[in-house]
Amino acid sequence: MKSTIYTDSYSKNQTQIIKGFAILCIMLHNLFHWINPMKSSENEFAFCSDYVNLFLSNLTDHPLEFINIIFSYLGHYGVDIFIFISGYGLAKSFSKTPRHWGIFMKHRLMKIYPLLIIAFIYYFFTRISLYYTLPNKTELYSMLYKLLFIHTFIPNEGMSLDGPWWFFGLIIQLYIFFPILYKIIEKHGLTAFAAIAAISYATIYSSLYLFKMPDNIYIMQNSIGHFPEFCLGILIAKNKDIAGNIWGFILSLIAFSLGNFHLALYPLTFISITYVFVYLSILITNNKLKLNYVKNTLLIFGKYSMVLFAIHGLFRWQFVVLAEKYNHPLITLALALLFLIEVLILSIPAKKIYDLITQSHSI
| Residue 327 domain boundaries | 4-361
Q: What's the pLDDT tens digit per position in 206-247?
A: 999 998 888 889 999 999 999 999 999 999 999 888 989 999
Report the C-alpha gap between 230 and 16 in whole angstroms. Answer: 17
- Domains held by the chain: number: 1
Report the C-alpha gap between 311 and 16 in whole angstroms. Answer: 19
Report the C-alpha gap between 181 and 227 in whole angstroms. Answer: 9
Share of the chain above pLDDT 90, in %: 84
Cα-to-chain-centroid distance, residue 108: 18
Ramachandran class of 8: left when φ > 0, alpha when ψ lies in -120 to 50, beta otherwise: beta
Report the C-alpha gap between 50 and 56 in whole angstroms. Answer: 10
Report the C-alpha gap between 349 and 52 in whole angstroms. Answer: 39
Mean pLDDT over residues 60-80, rounded?
A: 96
Q: Give the number of other Cβ atoms within 10 Å of residue 121's Cβ.
A: 14
Cα-to-chain-centroid distance, residue 301: 14
The separation between the first and the last C-alpha atoms of the chain, rounded to the nearest angstrom, is 41
pLDDT averaged over every residue in the chain: 94
Helix ranges (DSSP H) in 43-165: 49-61, 66-74, 78-96, 101-131, 137-147
Mean pLDDT over residues 347-355, rounded?
A: 94
Q: What's the pLDDT tens digit per position in 283-341?
A: 988 887 777 888 999 999 999 999 999 999 999 999 999 999 999 999 999 999 999 99
Report the C-alpha gap between 119 and 65 in whole angstroms. Answer: 31
User: If DSSP codes are grouped into helix, strand and coil, which group holds residue 262?
Assistant: coil
Residue 132's pLDDT is 83
